[in-house]
Structure formats: C-alpha cells, structure tokens
Amino acid sequence: MRKLFILLSFSFCLLSFAKAQTDTLTVMQYNLLNYNNYTSYCTASNNNVSNKDTYIKAIVDYVLPDIFTVCEMNQQQTSIDRLLTNVMNTSGRTNYAKGPRTNYSSSDMVNMVYYNTDKLVYSTYTAYPTDIRDINSYTFYYKDPNLAVTHDTAWITCIIMHLKAGSTTTDADERAAEVTILMNQLNAINKAGNYLVMGDFNTYSSSEDCYQLLVDYPNNNVKFYDPISKPGDWNNNCSFAAYHTQSTRSSSNDCMASGGLDDRFDHILASLDIISGGKNVKYISGTYKALGNDGNHCNDSINQGTNTSVPSSVLNALYGNSDHLPVIMKLQIDVANGIDDAVKVPFDFYIPSNSAEDNAVLVSHCNGNFNIEVMNVTGSLVYHFQTDATTGYNTINLAVVPKTASIAFFRITSPDGNVKVYRTLR
C-alpha cells in the first residue's frame, strides 16, 4: 500500500506569520569505483576513465546534484580537476566547484565534494586521518539572496567516509576504529547542527559496531539517523531489496564486483537537526533512494529485464560506471527574509517509506505522551492509540493500525496540545 503523505500542519500556539525563502538541495553520494585509478584488476580496458566520464556525465545531467560527494577518486589533483571539467561543468554548466583535497593518510584514492555555487558557498574543511584513508568534512552555507539584510543563513556540513572493505571480523573492527576517530572529534566539538555523514561504509548489517557508533552514540548532539529508518541484516537479504546499493551487476568484468544487488554499503545519515528541520535545513520525506534500484533486482543486474526507475541511458550509465549505485536525498532550505523570525514547528511526524504498514518517525520537542488518531476519507475515526516519546527521534510502530484502504488521515496531538494532520493520497 504505497501512498504519498502530504503534511498539513496546524499549531495552536503560532505567535506570528513569518515569510521565508524556501529552496531545495539535491544531495548525491557515489562510489565512482577507481576513477582514473588504474590497478592490476581495474584497467584502462575494463574501467577506462574516458568511458567513466561519459557515464558519470549522463548521471549528473539527470540528477543535477547541488552537493555531489564521491569516493574512490584517484588521489592526484589532476583527476579531481578532470571530473570537474569533463563532467560537472559540461552541458552548458559553469556553476560547479570542488572542495579542497587532502590525503594525510597517504591513500591511492581520496574523497571529494563538488557543489553548486549558485546555491552554496564553501566555508571550511577538516580532515581526519585514519589507517586507511582520510575522513573529510566540508561546511557550506546557503547563498541566501537576503543575506545582506538578515545576516543569517542555513549551514550544512558534509562528512565523507570510505570505510574498510571486507567481511572478516578484522575488517569490521577496522571500520569501527575509523568511525571512532570521527565520533571522538565530533564529541569534542560537541555542537549540534546540520550534519550529513555519507559514503561507502561497507556495512553488512546495522548491528556492526561502526554503524552503531553513528546511530546510537551517547551524545545526542553528534548522533546520526537513517532517514529511511531501515536497520537490519542487509547482506543478501531480499527484504531490503529496495535499499541495496551494490553490486550493479551479477557477473564481474574483473574490475566490478559480481552478485547483483544484495548489499547496502552506501549511506547518507543525517543529524537530528536535519531530520527535524530545527536549523533551517530539513530532510524531505520520501526523497531518499538508491538511484536505479527499483526494488525488483535482488541478486540481479540492474539492467536485467525491466527497470523503469530511471531512463535507460541513465540505467546503462549506472551499470557501466561502477558496481555501486549513488544514494540521493533532497533537503528543504528555509531561511527568514528579514521581515519576521521564522516560526519553529514544535514537532515532526513522517513515514519514511510512505506506507501506513511501515514504521513512522516522530521527532519530539519534549518527553511525553502523544495521541495518534487514524481517520478515513469522511473524517471518521478508524483507530486510535497513544505512544510515549522522548525528546528527539522516536520510531512509531504502525503495525497496530488496521490494514484498510480507507485510511486517509493521521492526526497527532502532542502533550502540550499542538496538532499535526497528515493526509494520504492514493
């Protein structure tokens, strides 16, 4: 029962009406697979960089990301510049720029970010060396046309990681060690804000220590959340077919991994402020996806049979360029225009999969009991239940809701009387 949930928010404590500048940022994270980095197995024959430029250009032309973070970029500055020139600033575009390069870990490959200068201004960067490769952090602010008046805008930090590959205990321990370096640094800074942590985590399950360090960290200021709330044992588990990102092909070409789509290696996780919109940047529910994954190709090549999730030219480019799929999400930017301060929504409620048969996410502004009413198209009550929430991110089990096609509204009342109503459109 797939549905689109549209938010209709009603609050009994609005003090003023604020006018705001609203925009959308498209974020894409992609493991490029040895971009311009030839090895004994990824060669000029089976992973030619000129062919990769053509493939990646087709993907970028289709998505037009405002933030494009990448893994497996050859560490030479000439390779980083090549992607900017041959891919990003083509098809009439001149608005993309790149972040600074670091390689303190002396790796043969590095991470990089490309960004839309029409919307974003680069501010600062930090790199955290590990035993494998650097973890890179880039901070931007939104290019608000009213910045000269408001002297304030929205900020966002993108943290890119490419963790140790492999399925052994030693490999998992190394991944945890890398993430520990990052979280220790964030914990020392101890500042909440708009953070994304993204990359190829090489994770087989959400129970891995490296993943738990991100999503279950004791300091809530630096804790991360999965926008689609899909924990589990992802490896070779077709229950997660719609969320797998590797491999794009069932047979190897000696460079790319085989086996078809059966792993969720690639992620974008968000801080609570992005999930809730607390600091002018908010995840748009339902926009997170693995590009080219239609949910019907578990253990199969993405171009086997029918796959209409993207145009065929983009599907072929995804298949040809890498054994990983890009992960995409959209963010809403809300900044005040200087007339009034923005009114903050006190709590949020959304369903990541857009299905009333799945879990919901409640981002609460307080501890307390929330009242949830489920209504049909005539406004009659179908089901009613209460749930205890704590301040921050809460998962609400909707399995208790009767399975009926007549569900049209969710009405949520907070402990202090604020109300949100969600309407479902079939």
The reported pLDDT for the residue numbered 335 is 77
**Which residue, among 367, 287, 362, has the nearest Cα to 330 in the 3D structure?**
287
Query: Taking 80 as the threshold, does the pLDDT of residue 14 lie above it?
Result: no
The reported pLDDT for the residue numbered 8 is 42
17 against 375, higher pLDDT: 375
β-strands 20-35, 67-74 pairing: parallel
223 against 22, higher pLDDT: 223
Positive or negative torsion for Cα 277, 282, 284, 289: negative
Percent with pLDDT over 70 in the chain? 88
Query: Taking 60 as the threshold, does the pLDDT of residue 149 lie above it?
Result: yes
278 against 188, higher pLDDT: 188
Each residue of 222-252: pLDDT tens digit? Answer: 999 999 999 999 999 999 999 999 999 999 9
Q: How confident is the model at residue 422 (pLDDT cuts 50, 70, 90)?
A: low
Q: What is the mean pLDDT of the chain?
A: 89
Q: Give the mean pLDDT of 159-178.
A: 98
The reported pLDDT for the residue numbered 349 is 80
| Structural domain 20-336, CATH architecture | 4-Layer Sandwich (3.60)
The reported pLDDT for the residue numbered 189 is 94
The reported pLDDT for the residue numbered 13 is 35
**Which residue, among 244, 228, 202, has the nearest Cα to 330 in the 3D structure?**
228
The reported pLDDT for the residue numbered 142 is 95
The reported pLDDT for the residue numbered 29 is 99
Q: Give the mean pLDDT of 55-82.
A: 99
Are 337 and 3 in contact by the 8 Å Cβ rule? The answer is no
* Single pTM value for the model: 0.82
| CATH assignment of 4-16+346-425, among 2.60.40.2250, 2.40.10.220, 3.40.50.2300, 2.60.40.3080 | 2.60.40.3080
| Spatial separation of the C-alpha atoms in residues 100 and 72, rounded to whole Å | 16
Q: Tokens 């050859």 belong to which residue?
A: 74
What residue segments make up the domains of the chain, in order of their start?
4-16+346-425, 20-336
The reported pLDDT for the residue numbered 396 is 85
Structure tokens at 298: 């578990």
378 against 426, higher pLDDT: 378
Are 233 and 223 in contact by the 8 Å Cβ rule? The answer is no
Each residue of 366-421: pLDDT tens digit? Answer: 888 998 888 776 667 888 899 998 887 788 888 778 776 577 678 888 888 887 77
Q: How confident is the model at residue 362 (pLDDT cuts 50, 70, 90)?
A: confident
